[in-house]
Copies of this chain bind each other. A is one copy, B any other.
């Protein structure tokens, strides 16, 4: 039989172990069917395109969250035809397929499927940059293209287009993040709204092209998103209705002038006033970028791990140490960062308006020239206390500066390691490598000072009760709404802390929802939690009525009747 399947000897052993595993899981009627499924998948993706080894299954079962799911194996298609074939095969053999772009969905499920024993469709080898259109300022890319890859591509060819990056690091997928409705820092921060023209493989292997792309010869597929007739693009956001294999993505043309605006506050209560003033500036079009406002912990975490020693191994971080660290690291109680982009004149005008509007807060305006000057000065005066302070300030601001400029950086990702024990020498790009635990509750709130204050007041005591630090940030995701990312950091090896994290997560989610603040995004696998928690989680999403859920299921039933793509149960 192995001859027929033409496996090498090593691979054959793997396959036999694999078959055992599948049989134990009760997935197939008989051995022959398994052989057939594997054979068919291998025929599609080739020998190297399917990995069912225990090591790989374990590696893909790692997660920054809790109780991750273990997959059946991992397929690595390289073309849309292979994805079509895999979808058809999966439907035929009633296998569950879970597509991931690059599996860097940190804190929201990473590369794990909603349930155990799904076949992961890892699209990271589909990483072609199909087109970069300088004049109309867009690229057409496959889901495997990472932030770092596209950044390097544009830089190496001197194409004057800027990325809008998230803090997920250089290795994270652009398309994957956009489909999960991630957001970045520039005026192009609403990633989903900057997609234009999708190619989607449906569960039965058909290829759907959205918007104008569906018309043969259309010249507007990547410049006009709506198409003619109903728009289907929204169906593929945060959903399991199809596998996106290609997307047009709008990029910002490199601005003539660029300037960042940093504000650090000393008082907690300044948050509300910043939010209200920035909201006005955004609504009036003076600021078009996302605007992030992070608290002290959030900024600290990007630059250090929990100071176990200085805190005498106690958690949460004592107030007195907290303010000492703020001072040492030149961090504000709240830290706002915004970018201004445009021609020299309008950027200059916006700077002035911003300074006046945010008065009496001290606004630091940094551009390339000022940053270079400050760095030179810091280098020169590094031995003096004033110089050291300057260097701290630069260290605090530079990663954000680069993000605002469209450069993917790994620093924000280090924040995931806040509570990780052990030596802080490795700065890996994958938080799973250092056992970083990460849970995010991400409520949307109206962009008003009161609402921001209310969210802080809801979550802070819950964090304290569970002995965590509130790592909070607020982001203007449009002119009218903020997303608050409430981060819970833990060490996945620490059982007690992990359980506390989970309880803290649920309590925060529940309290926020009770106050009307529902999340913009949630964990891909609610089932990743323990059953009572998962049930509570599901209950909390009880709608005003069940119609939305019903309609979503009717559409799922129409497009994927066998439940092939990422079934939830």
Residues on A facing B (Cβ under 8 Å) = 135-138, 181, 187, 192-193, 202, 206-210, 212-220, 223-226, 228-239, 241, 250, 252-253, 255-256, 283-286, 288, 341-343, 345-346, 348-350, 352-353, 444-448, 451, 477-481, 513-522, 541-545, 547-548, 550-552, 554-555, 557-559
Contact = CB atoms under 8 A, between A and B. Distances in A.
B137 A548 contact: no
6 contacts: A214-B545, A224-B478, A230-B237, A232-B234, A250-B480, A256-B284
> 5 closest pairs, A vs B, by CB?
A231-B234, A219-B516, A223-B480, A349-B349, A230-B239
Contacts of A479: 137, 250
Contacts of A557: 558
A268 to B, nearest CB: 22
B216 A544 contact: yes
A528 to B, nearest CB: 17
B209 A547 contact: yes
A440 to B, nearest CB: 14
Contacts of A231: 234-235, 237
A343 B348 CA distance: 13
A522 to B, nearest CB: 7
A341 B516 CA distance: 33
A557 to B, nearest CB: 7
A135 B446 CA distance: 10
Contact of A208 (B138, B202, B233, B547): B547
A512 to B, nearest CB: 11
B286 A551 contact: no
A286 B230 contact: no
Given A210-B548, A214-B544, A219-B445, 20 more contacts: A202-B547, A208-B551, A209-B544, A215-B518, A215-B544, A217-B514, A219-B515, A220-B444, A224-B444, A224-B480, A224-B520, A230-B236, A230-B241, A231-B237, A232-B234, A253-B284, A284-B343, A343-B349, A348-B349, A554-B558
A226 B181 contact: yes
A228 B521 contact: yes
A42 to B, nearest CB: 27
Contacts of A543: 209, 214-216
B228 A518 contact: yes
A74 B136 CA distance: 46
Contacts of A545: 206-207, 209, 214
A444 B197 CA distance: 14
Contacts of A519: 228
Contacts of A522: 228
A138 B283 CA distance: 11
Nearest to A231: B234
B137 A283 contact: yes
Given A230-B237, A446-B136, A518-B215, A342 B284 contact: yes
A234 B283 CA distance: 24
Q: Which of A230, A252, A477 has the most CB of B within 10 A?
A: A230
A234 B230 contact: yes
Contacts of A252: 283
A519 B349 CA distance: 39
Contact of A346 (B253, B346, B544): B346
